[in-house]
Structure 1
Amino acid sequence: MTTILVTGGTGTLGRLVAERLRADGHEVRVLSRHSRPYGVDLREGGPALDAAMAGTDTVVHCASTPRGGDERAAENLIAAARGAEVRHLVFISIVGVDRVPFGYYRTKLAVENLVEESGLGWTVLRATQFHDLLLRLFEGLAKVPVMVLPAGVRDQPVEVAEVADRLAELAGGAPAGRAEDMAGPEVRTFESLARAFLRASGRRRAVVHVPLWGAAYRGFRAGGHLAPERAVGKRTFEEYLAARSRRHR
């Protein structure tokens, strides 16, 4: 039985990864700022992180925040993993981090580089955006009578549970380096995804397209965050919305 530490193990992805790994028979340690007994702020590190890491074979690094600090957190995690002689470090990243000059993507790419240069056995999996992220985005945009969408942008959302399954599979194996990207089953316009959300939620909103500016927007318009050749996900956005509606009845 392998001992696996999952950072961000109470989050949307990390929680599912931990469940899958336990179902596969692994001993799983869930690390987050508020989990017990492994309550650790990775940005601070310290003895609590070393204690959580002791005796760990594999680390699945899911913890991340757009508010900053991911690079510092990764540095602390890697240092603790080296000290504990961890065999395998698995990191979840995002498709397009090397093509779209978006701030959060640049941070993800920087963490990828830290993982690759860590001296540890490593695996990096890049995935497209989760259905959950689009749902939160559209819920925010629908709070006003007119939904304003970035013109000319498409997306390829993927089911988070499917990504969790793949991460768990990779964590249970040998270090694989850059794993093949994982993308959702369909490349869709933002408008088609927004209208699917509106239909599923029973909302009526006007939809308008607004051109934006900057290198990041040009990268998204060019499809740098898409991977149509890796459309391995199964569940569509409509199927995700329908399943969520059934759960909340």
Structure 2
Amino acid sequence: MTHRPAAPSAIPAGLSHYYRASDLSGLRLALWEDAGSASLAAYLREAGAAVEVLPPGDGAGQGMPPLPLRARCAPGAGGAGKTGGGLSAVNGHPGGAAVLELDAAVVNLGDPNPLARRLQATGVPFVIFTDHPERCLEHYPAGSCVHSEDGPEALASAVLLHVAIFRSGLPVTPDLSGPGMSLIEMVPGLRAMARVLVPDAALADDLLAEAMVQALAYVPALGSEAEVGALLVMLIERLWHRQKLSRPC
């Protein structure tokens, strides 16, 4: 089942769980799908996203020039050069080709890896919807994987989470090679992540506060502030998913 009932109904998420529907309003996505596969476009659009459906052969080949895509909301990115519809002319593409600015890309292909490897070079976060997520781990952290058995709402949740982390400018894995970001420096990013996931500012701040309270139990076992920051990202994700599962209507 790919269509979602009107909010705030609970909707299936795989075989045994129900998720509160994700709100993708305002997000701009690109979607690649194999012909004949169950389309995800209608579901993502009903979630509020603007979806550009691209042919499976568009960008999936090897040895081709860079994909004409870039992140719309990269940390620190300005709006210079934008034109109507989210397109902008960017140097480096043949003939000054228009570049599609996206919040995220979604890949629903039998063999997602050739396209995923090209997407990694664009700076656009992407989510792979696949029967074999174990084969796609090489793309982390640029891309994340969702098992197709978990259903389209699990995909929508992964898209929103990936965009939240990307917009916040937070590292998804701790940098142990240097000092990295201090915990104080991470707090604005952690708050930004929570507010993408939970539009209500007060509830988003409550989400961050609860993650910080839970993190206190683990701090003595962690070796650096970077590890604490990575733990907080994980706890925000876990608490958010729990809220989606525990508030079905």
User: What TM-score results when the alignment is normalised by the length of structure 2?
Assistant: 0.25
User: What TM-score results when the alignment is normalised by the length of structure 1?
Assistant: 0.25
